Amino acid sequence: MFLYILGLVAFWFVFRWYRELARVPNKGQKYVYITGCDSGFGNLLARHLDKLGFRVIAACYTEKGEDELKKVSSERLNTVHLDVVSTDSVSNATAFIKTLVGEKGLWAVVNNAGVSVPSGPCDWMTVDDYKSMLDVNLIGVIGVTLSVLPLIKKARGRVVNVASVFGRISAFGGPYCVSKYGVEAFNDSLRMNMSAFGVKVLCLEPGFFKTSVTDLHLLRKNVKTLWDKLPEEIKDQYGHDYPERANVTLEKNVATLLDGDLMKVVSCMEHAISAVHPRTRYSPGWDAKFLWLPMSYLPTWIADKMLLKDMANPTGSIL
């Protein structure tokens, strides 16, 4: 019996691998709009898709990001300034895209732009801290998507949302996990709404990768900035050596989990855009597949026991 089950599982993986090999035709006529292309995943994806022959529209936050990307790309690639928090900026980018794509419509939008700070224990935060991250990581995703959705429907194309494995499990406090849980919910509801129009909505849930948002210097600075603003009462509750212990844990836990191979994520993005039969969800990164996702399926009382001693105990450390 066990061998029959093993055989069925093996057959399923072979079948899925074969089915996912097929790629969409006419790449040179398909426009792909990517946010957050100044660096990291967005920058690599824009360059990768450009080499594959797609017509890339790379949205950058800075002029420097636009200039650097143009230097290493073909004439097919277009750049546009985008601040996902600004309604005017989103509208201006959409107007540019409409002029560019014409009646063909937009094949795909990749909501990649995001931020990781401020992050820390929930009682260190203010409502404004939550709002600032939600504006980028969630409202920005929704705003950009809705702005180009009519063009996506016209092309019967794709919406690719970059969430996180921490949209499945909250391993630390603050607004980051809240924003990514929101992306997951938006992604699922949009996928159901758009299925009747032939639009595929895909979600990426990466683990820890070595990018600007996981830079240890940035995370240490974030801890210090938040700690310096806290009232003495909260500092006393956590212990005045807490920032030092937090930095040790960052070095110990985050640094060891960081994966430097960003192409693992970019390859999943490319598959979501170009495969005839893309997956509904992608989980790039060994920690996402074998640590965080399995933990998210455990009963809460078990998962909490595994996390609480490091993440929530004021006398312990934090991630």
Catalytic (active-site) positions:
176
Write the DSSP assignment of 187-255 as a string of letters.
Answer: HHHHHHHHGGGT-EEEEE----B-SGGG-HHHHHHHHHHHHHHS-HHHHHHH-TTHHHHHHHHIIIIIH
Other Cβ atoms within 10 Å of 198 Cβ, number = 11
Cβ(204)–Cβ(266) below 8 Å: no
Distance CA 96, CA 34 (A): 14
Distance CA 183, CA 202 (A): 11
Write the DSSP assignment of 248-287 as a string of letters.
Answer: HHIIIIIHHH-B--THHHHHHHHHHHHBSS--SEE--SHH
DSSP annotation of 111 reads E
Cβ(71)–Cβ(22) below 8 Å: no
The token pair at 15 is 């079948």
Residues listed for the chain: 319
Other Cβ atoms within 10 Å of 202 Cβ, number = 24
DSSP annotation of 165 reads G
Interacting residues of 111 by C-beta distance below 8 A, sequence separation 6+? 35, 140, 141, 144, 145, 159, 160, 161, 162, 183
Q: Nearest-CA neighbor of 84 among 50, 106, 111? A: 111
